[in-house]
Amino acid sequence: MKRHTGQDRSVTRNWKPATQAVRGGTARSEWGETSEAIFLTSGYAYDCAADAAARFAGEQAGMTYSRLQNPTVEMLEQRIALLEGAEAARCTASGMAAMTAALLCQLQSGDHVVAGRALFGSCRWLTDTLLPKFGIRTTIVDARDPQQFADAILPETRVFFFETPANPTMDIVDLEAVCRIAKENGITSVVDNAFATPALQRPMEFGADVVAYSATKMMDGQGRVLAGAVCGTEDFILNTLLPFTRNTGPTLSAFNAWVVLKGLETLDLRIHRQSDNALKVGRFLETRVPRINHPGLPSHPQHNLAMRQMAACGPIFSFEVDGGRAQAHGLLDALGLIDISNNIGDSRSLMTHPASTTHSGVAEDKRIEMGVSEGMLRLNVGLEDPDDLIADLDQALEKVGL
């Protein structure tokens, strides 16, 4: 396979992110196809036994088995690494496979992790339930305050783990400040960047060591497949992550990788339009609901920090009603255009009640501590005309007395 017929990789590395999203990592077969090929193969054949031995010994370039390498998956991995500005990236079957691998590959019994309290529900299950089962302790902090990370450090602390913006409270973490504290203390910072994607925020530019993704969200962007990715230095990916993923097998399928490759082609376009739409819808909702958590609005306590780290606010925000679960569910049931769905990053507008869906597995006291109230709703603003979304919200709010 030839990489970008006639083009040198040292040149392609310098392309800007929007170019990388369309072309980065493309490898063409002998047919010169313009759109990336899907290689649905689990194995690879060798010309002779010595070639097989050399490939297994790592002395000959090439693929051996699709749990370890696949040409379509590799194109996606290179594209994500180029978009992120990371030395290397590897894909996984889902975002949670990426988070689990990024943590477990580098931790062992006796280690300690400091994690932001506002995390995706399953990420909180990792920190609160899975890691302790293996003797890895976690301290949960309010990640909006960098000093809390510094104060939680123990001699055994190996990893800081957080997301920004955080799901669904939209807490913002000061990437530069927290990653600096990590570096000064020899701690690896692992950032879940699913909400912003590299099109809006590149944590490594602020000093992050590892950036992990649910590519299910904005990267696919059309609600089709599950996928994940972990980005880091070549040393981290080859020597720490790969031994874990190659042997445990959270492998992304070639077909799903291809779907995400297609999604990435329009990532820049979609995320900016969806951010614009989310801002319009947010400005409307702000006049009608008691509280809104929207990093693009000046009313967000960390608006300036968000706008310093992010190129735009992104498509997702949350808001709260005073009538608790009954009013929140009533509002969802009154929607006519926006779907009741717990997915995000889709080109369709979707709304969910986190306390009874995405965060229902988090104990109530922890939910309250995180700021996930019974009246909170999370909205993913899609690519529909924002006037239609506002009209739908307007009639639904009226039906529940708002």
**Binding residues among 120-149 for ligand PLP as defined by CB under 6 A:** 120, 122-123
Q: Which of 115, 173, 187, 226 binds ligand PLP (CB under 6 A)?
A: 226
The nearer residue to ligand PLP, 284 or 317, going by C-beta atoms, is: 317
Q: How far is the CB of 93 from ligand PLP (least distance, A)?
A: 8
Query: Contact, 142 vs 148, CB < 8 A?
Result: yes
Which single residue is written with the structure tokens 């996606």?
Answer: 76
The nearer residue to ligand PLP, 106 or 197, going by C-beta atoms, is: 197
Kindly indicate which of the ranges 60-68, 192-200, 235-243, 282-290 contains the residues binding ligand PLP, using the contact rule CB under 6 A: 192-200
Kindly indicate which of the ranges 130-138, 213-221, 301-309, 321-329 contains the residues binding ligand PLP, using the contact rule CB under 6 A: 213-221
CA 306 to the chain's CA centroid: 17
Q: Is the peptide bond before 168 cis (omega within 30 degrees of 0)?
A: yes
User: DSSP secondary structure string, 190-259?
Assistant: EEE-TTTHHHH--GGGGT-SEEEEETTTTTT-SS----EEEEE-HHIIIIIIHHHHHHH--PPPHHHHHH
Neighbour order of strands in the sheet with 210-214:
88-92, 228-232, 210-214, 188-192, 157-163, 112-116, 137-141
Q: How far is the CB of 30 from ligand PLP (least distance, A)?
A: 34
Q: Which of 25, 71, 198, 228 binds ligand PLP (CB under 6 A)?
A: 228
How is residue 33 annotated by DSSP? -
The site for ligand PLP, by CB under 6 A, has a size of: 18
Q: Per rule CB under 6 A, is residue 171 in the interface with ligand PLP?
A: no
Sign, CA dihedral 197-200-205-206, equals: negative
Whole-angstrom distance between the N-terminal and C-terminal Cα of the chain?
59
Dist. CA 176–CA 188, nearest whole Å? 14
From the CB of residue 246, how many other CB atoms can be counted at a distance below 10 Å?
Answer: 14
The nearer residue to ligand PLP, 192 or 268, going by C-beta atoms, is: 192
Q: x/- contact string, 311-350, with ligand PLP (CB under 6 A)?
A: ---------------------------------x------
Q: How far is the CB of 94 from ligand PLP (least distance, A)?
A: 3
Angle at 190 between CA 186 and CA 195, to 5 degrees: 150
Quick one: tokens of 253?
């399928």
Q: Per rule CB under 6 A, is residue 221 in the interface with ligand PLP?
A: no
Q: How far is the CB of 28 from ligand PLP (least distance, A)?
A: 29
The nearer residue to ligand PLP, 39 or 195, going by C-beta atoms, is: 195
The nearer residue to ligand PLP, 26 or 275, going by C-beta atoms, is: 275
**Binding residues among 150-169 for ligand PLP as defined by CB under 6 A:** 163, 167
Using CB under 6 A as the criterion, which residues of the chain lie in contact with ligand PLP when the complex forms? Answer: 94-96, 99, 120, 122-123, 163, 167, 192, 194-195, 214, 216-217, 226, 228, 344
